Every structure is written in structure tokens, then in C-alpha cells.
Structure 1
Amino acid sequence: MKRKVGLLTFSDGRDYVNKDLVEINARFEQAVVEALNSTGEVEVIRAERIVDKPSVAKEEALKLRDKGAQMTIFHYAVWAFPHFSVIASKFAPGPFLLFGNVNPKYPGMVGMLAAAGALEQDGTQTYRMWGDPKDPKVLKKLMAFIRAATARNMLKGQRYGMFGGRSMGMYTAVPNVDLWNKLFGIDVEHIDQLEIIEKSKKVPDSVAEHAREWLEKHAKKIHYDGKQLTPEKLQLQIKSYYALRKMAEDLELDFIGVKAQPELTEHFVTMDVAEAFLNDPYDWDGPKEPLVCATEADSDGALTMQIFKLISSQPVLFADVRHYDSDDNFFDLCNSGQHATFFAARSYDPVVNLAKVEFYPESFYFPAGGASVRHIAAPGEVTLARLTRKDGRYVMRIIKGEFLDFGEEKNEEKARATQIEWPHAFARLKVSAEEFLSSYSSNHIHGVYGDYVEELVHFCKLSGIDFVVYA
């Protein structure tokens, strides 16, 4: 996925001055293009002309819109007439990032600040950055904003599929449809869980058998017990996976949530295999794009995951905040088999991950049976977050942390202390347990590998929602 970024460079409006600045503007603009291209994430949609007249500001801005830019960088390397930026802002696709290049012999910073002031006066939301775009620190900041801004725009017009209603009385799992539409431009489709059962019946046995045999070949172990977990129940879970994928395609759903408990988990089969592999970047048929799926139809959880996916282009974790281990100062993030197998080894090669994945019989919580997808998350820096609501307003809670690896023996000991058959991520947070537990407002949490705090903060500011960074 390439992020489409429009680039407009502004100049002096006096013809005799602008003629002497053409080469300078082009050279500094090229430096921005090369820096962004070096990331491999960005498709730069470059204006055809340097903006030196009001008509050019409008025409070039419209071209960026027509070419599908998902945000626009207003670029300043010299003094530029501020009204050009104001005119362009009425037609170019936002959000807008004002970037001042390093050119001390010409008043580019003056031009950026003059434009920023003019845009602020008319209420246009902008963000400002400056520096050499080839400086890794500057480029990192540029990319943080670009990821947030493009993710914000990609959400508009997306559709969320909610299979089933509220699960087990969780208010925090139910979406506010009006707020989603107002803030993010997301449409919500409600679908009965009966559709999963009926569509599963249409998946050929041969397709499910192929997938089961692939899992049997590559997984560390499948713990068939002849009761809760049998080959037939595993195949039914696989059919559920195909059913959900097919409905997402037919109904044009961009991300989904599945209630599961208690109806499916008591009378059909658990959704753990389906949820894990929907969130994975592959399945037994090959590589694919992850389809964000939240268990217990946790809609704010699914939305948080979709934001993470669009920002990071990674599979996203869904977990319960299950237990705090005071001896080793970590939280056991453990949920009923929902974790994508990607987290087992942090690899895009399914064989590498599945070598660390076991399929356990479901516990007494789920009498219908099936497999729980069980592994320990690979170690590494992580960003965790969750959209919560407080008195009708969204608050995104953002936490830096790391996943820990205690070694196989101790990992098993820690997992057994809570739930041996479920997946675990041992997370040490950059905040005290007391502060976290006294203010974090959900039983669920989500995250990806790497540091995406700055991206999430930008996303919240662009969306007009509150945020808290735990540090």
C-alpha cells in the first residue's frame, strides 16, 4: 500500500523574482520527493508547476485532488505570497502539512510562517514542520504525520460489519454509530450471526480439509482430544473463516467484529481460528491482506485495530488485560485464541510462526468446542492503544511498552498461571501498574510492534478527539 501524498511548492508572486527562483524551488522540492520516495511507503503526487499565481494555486490543487492525493504538503523554500496557500487550501485534499525547507539565503521560513498565520486566521487546520527532509529525524517526523493523515483519510467511506449484538453486557464493545459517522465517516452494517452458520454450510469439505492438513503439517502441535477438539470441529472453524471472508467481500466490509459469545460458542463452534487468521497476513492459500476482526463484537476495539493497521501496515493484536504479574512487572495480555499467528514469531512467513503455534481444545467457557490458537508473542518494542469513550467523547489511551520473552520454560510457567490453552503477550508497560489500572477504561487492548505514538497523537488531533499518552 502506497500513501498518496500531494506536494505543492509556493513561490514569490512577482514575475521577475519568481524567474530567478525556479531552479532553487525545483532543487529543494526534489529533495523532499527523494526523501519521501526513499521510505518505500509514499507515492508523491507532485504538482506540475510551482505556485506563483492565484490561478496556478487553484489549478494545481485541483489536479492533486483528481489524482487521488490523501493529504497535501505545502512546501516553502523561499518567500511565498501567503494568499497562494490560502487559495490552494480550498481545493487541495487535506490534511495540510506546511513544511519549511532549510534554505537560509532565502526567507523560506518567513514564507511558511506567513502562510500558517493566514490559514490559522480563516480556521484551516494545518501542521508545521521544518528542516532538511533527508535528515533521518526530520524524515521520521514527516512520516509520522503522513501515516496519520493518510490513515485518517482512508477511514472515510469504510464499512464496518458487526456480526451479532452486544456480548456479555459489555457497554464498551458497542459502537456509537452516529459518532463513528461524524468523526470518521464510517458506515456500520449489522449482520446476524446466523449468516455465519448458513454460509459455512456452503464451503466445500475439500477446501476445509486442505486447510486442516496444512495446519497439521506446519503447526507445532494440534491437541485433538476427541471431544472439544476434533478434525471435524477444526474444519468447521475453517469454514467459518471462509464464510466471514466471503461476506466481507460481498458486503464490501473493510473490518469486522464477531460477537460469538454465547450463541456460537455454545451451539456452533468458536470463532478463534477464523479471528486469528483473518487478522493474519496469510492463510493456507497464501499471502493476503489482513482483515481486522475483533472478537466479542468489540467495535471500538475493531476501530482501534483498523487505525493501527492503516497507520502501521501491520497485523494488529487484540487482547484482554488479563493479569498483572508483580514478580516480573508485566501484564499478561491474554484472549481466547484471537491473537493473529503473526505474533508468534513476528514473521510474514507462516511456516516460521506456526512452528511456535499450538491448537488446544477450548476450555469449559465454550461448550461448542473447537480450537484455541495458542502461542507466546515474540519479544519487541510495542505500541498499545485503545479508543475509549468518556461522557460522550472519545479518548484514545496510548501506551508504550515491550513484549517479553522469559525463555520457553518460564514462558510456559507464566502461561499456565492464567490459561494454558490461550495465546499470551507478556507486556511490560512504560507506566506503573497502579497508574494504568486506575485510569485505563477497557478490558481490551490492542497494539503493533514498533513506536507509533507520534502517529496516534497526530491522528487524534486530526480527528478532534482527546488522547492520553502513558509514559
Structure 2
Amino acid sequence: MARIGVISVSDGRDYVHSGIAEHIRTTEDKLVAELAAAGHTVVRGSAPVSTNSLATSVAREIEAAGVDLTVLHYAVWAFPHFTMLAAGAIRGPLLLLSNIDPVQPGMVGMLAAGGALDQIGRAHTRLWGEPAAVAGAIGVHAAAAAAVARLRGSTFGRIGGRPMGMNTAVANTDQWQRLFGVDVEEIDQWEIVRRAEAAPADEKAKAREWLERHAHVHYDGNKLTPALLERQIGSYLAMRELIDEWNLDFTGIKGQPELTQYFATMDIAEAFLNDPYDWNGPKEPHVCATEADMDGALTMQLFKHIAATPVLFADVRHYHGDRDIWDLCNSGQHATWYAARSDDPAENLAKVHLYPEVFFFPAGGASVHHLAAPGEMTLGRLTRKDGQYRMQLMLGSFETYSDEVNQELMAQSTPEWPHAFARLDAPADVFLSRFGANHIHAVPGDHRATVRAACELLGITLDEFTRG
């Protein structure tokens, strides 16, 4: 949940303020109680703002508290210049909230303050109504602000360069710094090779045995052997080491063609980096995008901050026109968490098969196969059009069918890879003519409102797909 600052703004005439201070405090109490009940941490201003000096000092208190969003609260008519002074001391997002009360005209105060902010170009959001009615909407904006704030100051580790000529996987680092506040650390793929080989043999064996106990491992003596599986596990351990040493917040591995031709596929590393667990127990999911997809990783990191779940990465592999569903499938990239969406890895891995890799990847290793569990999903991706970022966003759902139908559908593409059967809230012709990449990303639930708010904070165009 988010940290929300609340500053109530009042009338600047002392004889008026003294008569309305209790009303302001009572209304603020209700607002704070609603936000706290929703799970947010609320930081209250030390006093209602009734003088110019209080406007600055109270705002500085809230700024120093490191809140994600500041709510300027208008329960009464408020002098607009108090808002301007407070806004000058607050760098983060602002939300103006008023009551709807014919006796105490907080709405008038909000409109006057909002108009003044408009005149100087200070972005803000406005809401109005009783605390119980608006707390959810405030939470949406606060969650978006928290997600955007967590991006700023973070570091993306790009392991390798552009994969297979994919321009959509390579972003402008200057643009990332300017828009998102994200730095990019360039690391050679040789670091994975040398560190994987040097990883502790007992740790690799422990992980292999754990996978053999909980998942279905299909050794073939050629493309998948215990030694190759341990090499892939070593790649995961190498990535964990790089993440810790370089303080990387999210990453992407090029993989193709060098590693997949001469070393091993990165499917095990990518799947378990994105999982909330490994053989040593629970952990924080780490976003890692295959094919060093920078915009994919950035989308995933934003979605992870919003949804607080692992994020799915996939190719838009095939459209089954007779069913109006899409097969989202990409090597071993899908986190195994999506097999059952359980916090118990054994429950997920019972549905996971490690198959020998296909002919695309001659170095071999395991492909992490499973079928994503059904449920409502938010899908999207940050793409660029004429150099400008946009968020292409839609609602959808993952579906599963009988075992026979599931196998039949997966067999039409690459059955060894992980799959998610997605029904999108977009006609196929609209999606195929507008979507700006071959990769797409998803999280469970409907998070569109928070994504919309995040785009507004980032100044990014929203390109939303619907059947309407």
C-alpha cells in the first residue's frame, strides 16, 4: 500500500478559522480513517493551514515524510494562495479533495486552488465527495504514485545487447532517465557463463534435486541432461550474484543467439527470477525480461509495483480465430507461479514440465512448460510511436479447457514452451493493426485505473483497447 500525506486547507481570517477548525478536523478524521482502513499509511499535517507560514511549514513536514501522494483537503472555503505555497514545498503528486456541502463550500476552495495551479502549469488531480465514497479513488492514485516513485532512482541491468535485430527491445537510455528516472547498467553475457561455471556444485545439485522432486523433468540424454539442467541453474545463481553485486532492480538477458547456441537457454534463470520463490524458500520476485527487452522489462516493473504479483512475459504467438483466443507463448519466460497462482511452489511445480529445448536452441537445456491458470488479467506494454512512449492497455482473461483441448491447442505452436490462452477485450483486427510489439505482459486482476493514473503522472499517452 501507499504512503499518503493529508493537509487540510482553511480560511486565512483568524476569526473565521477559529469557528471552522473543529469541522475541518472532524472531516479530516473521517478521511484518514477511511484511508487507513484501506491499508494505507497516512501522514497528517500537524495543523490545518490557516496562514502563509503554516502553508509552507506543514507542507515541508509532509514532504520530509516521504509520502507517495499528498492530498490537499478542502472541507471549507480556503485561501487559494495557501495551496500555492504548499505546492511549492511539495515535489510529489498532488490530489485536491473537496466536500460537497452547501454550508461549508469546500468545492469553491478546491476550484479556486485548482485554477491557480493550472495557471502555473502544476499538474494535479481533483476528487470530490464524502470520504467513504472517494477513499478508493484516492487509493488508486496513491498506488500509481507509489509505483512511479519506485521506478525513479532504480537501475536496469541489460545483460547483452539487441537480440536478433529486435528494435522494439532496445530503448534510449537518455529518454529513460528523463521520463522514468531509470539508469541502465550494461553487462556482458560472458558474466553469466563464467559465474555459472564457478557457482557452487552443491547448490546446483540441491536445486536440480528440488526440481526433480516437485516438477516433471523429462531428460532425453541429449538436449536435456542433469548436467545441462545444472548449467541452467548455475545461470540463475550467476544472475542472483550480478543483481546483488550491481544493485540491479530489474534486468533483461539477451540470450539469443549466443547463449542459446553455445551455452544453454536462459529459461530456468528467467522463470525463477520472476517467481516469488526458489529452492531456498520465498523471495521477492525480480523482473527479468527475456531477449533483453528493455521496454518489456520496464512495463513488467511498473506492473509489478502496481499489482504486487509476478508479471507474465510472452510473445503474442498465435490467434485461434475459431475460439477468439490468443496463445501467449515465449520459450521458458513465464514465471512458474502462473501455473496455479499459488504461494506454495510445490502446488505450481506439480503443473510444470521441464522439456528438452527445441531446435531453435541447439545448446539445449530445459524449457519450463506449463499452462497459465485461468482468471481476469490486465495486459499491456509500453511501446513507442515516432519516438514517444505510450501505454497500450487492455483487459482480458486467461482460459483453460479440457485436457484434450488444452493439449490440442498447445500442439499447434510449440508445445514444449509455456502457454497462456488469453481472451482480449479487443477485436483481433484492431489488436494486430495497432499493437506495437510482439511481446505482451500481464498481471492478475483489473488494474487499469491504476495504470491510467500512472500514465498521467508520467506524461505518457494511454492507448487503450476495448471492444466498444
Aligned length: 466
Residue 386 (structure 1) aligned to one of 373, 381, 395 = 381
Aligned-residue offset at 1:133: 2.7
Instruction: State the distance in 2 between where 1:71 and 1:409 align.
Output: 50
Give the distance between the partners of 2:100 and 2:279, measured in 1 at CA. 50
Partner of 2:15: 16
Shift of 1:390: 1.0
Say which is worse superposed, 415-424 or 29-38, in terms of deviation. 29-38
- SS of the aligned residue for 2:211 comes to helix
Determine the structure 2 residue equivalent to 1:286.
281
CA contact (8 A) 2:273 2:285 kept: yes
Q: Give the alignment partner of residue 415 of structure 2, picking from 406, 413, 420.
A: 420
Residue number in structure 2 paired with 1:130: 128
| AA matched with 2:9 | F
Q: Distance in 2 between the 1:80 and 1:409 partners?
A: 66
Query: Are positions 1:25 and 2:24 aligned together?
Result: yes
The amino acid of 1:119's aligned partner reads L
In 2, the alpha carbon distance for the partners of 1:91 and 1:154 equals 21
Contact 1:147 1:312 survives alignment (8 Å): no
One-letter amino acid matched to 2:197: K
Corresponding residue to 1:315 among 303, 310, 326: 310
Gaps of 5+ in 1: none
SS at match of 2:391: strand
Q: Which residue of 1 is the match for residue 214 of structure 2?
A: 218
Preserved CA contact (<8 Å) 2:31 2:135: no
Code of the aligned partner of 2:77: W
State the AA in 2 paired with 1:162. R
Structure 2 residue aligned with 1:5: 4
Q: Secondary structure at the match of 2:404?
A: helix
Structure 2 CA distance for aligned equivalents of residues 313 and 181 of structure 1 = 24
2: CA distance, partners of 1:438 / 1:288 = 39
The residue aligned with 1:35 is 34
Moved more, 24-33 or 173-182: 24-33
Which string of whole-angstrom CA distances, capped at 9 and with x for unpartnered residues, describes residues 70-117 of structure 1? Answer: 221111111111111111111123111111234443111111111111
| DSSP 3-state at the match of 1:377 | coil
1:356 paired with 2:351, answer yes
Aligned-partner SS, 1:373: strand
The one-letter code sitting in structure 1 at the alignment partner of 2:24 is: N
1:205 counterpart residue number: 201
The residue number in structure 2 matching 1:73 is 71
Q: Tell me the equivalent position of 1:165.
A: 161
State the percentage of identical aligned residues: 53
Report the secondary structure of 1:201's partner residue. Answer: helix
Q: SS at 2:125's partner residue?
A: strand
Distance in 2 of aligned mates of 1:329 and 1:405: 13
Q: Do the aligned partners of 1:377 and 1:424 also contact (CA within 8 Å) in 2?
A: yes
Equivalent residue number for residue 462 of structure 1: 457
Say what the alpha-carbon RMSD is for the aligned residues. Answer: 1.2
CA distance in 2, matches of 1:38, 1:212: 44
Does residue 180 of structure 2 align to residue 184 of structure 1? yes
Q: Secondary structure at the match of 1:397?
A: strand
Q: 1:386 to 1:83 in 2, by over 3 A?
A: same
Which one-letter code corresponds to 1:204 in the other structure?
A: P
The one-letter amino acid of 2:21's match is: V
Shift of 1:342: 1.1
Task: Using the TM superposition, give the Cα deviation of residue 171 of structure 1 relative to its aligned residue in structure 2, in angstroms.
Answer: 0.4
* Mapped partners of 2:403, 2:49: distance in 1: 61
Q: Deviations over 1:408-465 (max 9, x none)?
A: 2211111111111100110101110011101111000001011111111211121112
1:301 alignment partner, one of 282, 296, 300: 296
Contact kept, 8 Å, 1:64 with 1:93, in 2: the verdict is: no
- Structure 2 Cα separation of the partners of residues 428 and 101 of structure 1: 41
Aligned-partner Cα distance in 2 for 1:290–1:257: 14
Question: In structure 1, what is the Cα distance between the partners aligned to 2:347 and 2:461?
Answer: 39
1:347-405 residue CA offsets vs partner (Å, 9 max, x unmatched): 22212211111111111111111111111111111111111111111121111111111
* Counterpart residue type for residue 432 of structure 1: P
Aligned partners of 2:300 and 2:311 also within 8 Å: yes
Q: 1:38 & 1:207 partners in 2: Cα distance? A: 44
CA distance in 2, matches of 1:402, 1:353: 19
Aligned to 1:134, the other structure's residue is in SS state helix
Find the residue that maps to 2:130 and give its secondary structure: coil
1:72/1:93 contact within 8 Å kept: no
Q: Report how far residue 20 of structure 1 moved.
A: 2.2
Q: Which is further off, 43-52 or 294-303?
A: 43-52
Aligned to 2:137: 141
**Contact kept in structure 2, 1:270 and 1:370, CA below 8 Å:** yes
- Runs of 4+ residues deviating >6 angstroms: none
* Structure 2 gaps, min length 5: none
CA change 1:6–1:262 in 2 (3 A) is same
Structure-1-length-normalised TM-score: 0.97
Give 1:236's match in structure 2, choosing from 206, 231, 239: 231
TM-score by length of 2: 0.97
Aligned pair 1:105/2:103, yes or no? yes
Between 434-443 and 17-26, the greater mean CA deviation after superposition: 17-26
Letter in 1 for 2:13: R
